[in-house]
Amino acid sequence: MPQTLRNLTERGVYDAEALATLECIYLAVCGMLDIGCDDLDGRHIIAKAVLFAFDRGTRDIDQLKAAAIIASKTPLLERGRQRTAA
């Protein structure tokens, strides 16, 4: 999980239990979308998508994964287009 998300826990935005759930979902979504460990930009997009889904009130694990995948799809596609255009 990116350090910025851990910082949210330290500041009291999320409790430790929520962070553990978010981290599990984050890792699962990265795996499902084949986002590699060295793809920091892709991992940042996934982290933001997981937080977006969680902040919208989704708490079911499968629904969180699905919402994060949907939320990350457009930024990931846009990133791919920018890379091929360069």
Q: Is the pLDDT of residue 86 over 80?
A: no
How does pLDDT run across 6-16, given as a tens digit for each residue? 777 778 888 88
Exposed / middle / buried, residue 2 (Cβ in 10 Å: 0-12, 13-18, 19+): middle
How does pLDDT run across 16-31, given as a tens digit for each residue? 888 888 889 999 999 9
Low-confidence winner among 4-8, 34-38, 55-59 (lowest mean pLDDT): 4-8
pTM to 2 decimals? 0.82
Q: Where are the domains of the chain?
A: 3-85
Please report where in the chains the tokens 């553990």 appear, as a residue. Answer: 20
| High-pLDDT (> 90) share of the chain, % | 33
